[in-house]
Amino acid sequence: MAFQFTDSNFADTALKGGVSVIDFWAEWCGPCRLIGPIIEELATQYDGKATIGKVNVDENPEISMKYNIRSIPTILILKDGELVDKQVGLTTKAALEAKIQPYL
């Protein structure tokens, strides 16, 4: 199951080191609902190798503002707390895997 990042747990999880894949989404966003199952699959597939989860932009405005999220879905890839890649808009599982693999 995908991790639920929040304003309060973000620093202790996404920035702690290793690889984090963060899906910024909202309940009302159609493309976000389409990419949701892909994020869930990747979370299971990369369990123990990367922290893969979601941030609800409506409930967690601090993180969204920090990373200047203007469009959703936006997926950020962080390595050791540093932003290394970004995907804005709907994409495929294969495309996301290709972005994640180099950082594992």
Annotated active-site positions, please? 29, 32
* Rounded Cα gap, residues 99 and 104, in angstroms: 10
The pairs formed by 30-37 with CB atoms below 8 angstroms and a separation of 24 or more are 31/72, 31/73, 31/89, 31/90, 32/72, 32/73, 34/90, 35/73, 35/75, 35/90, 35/91
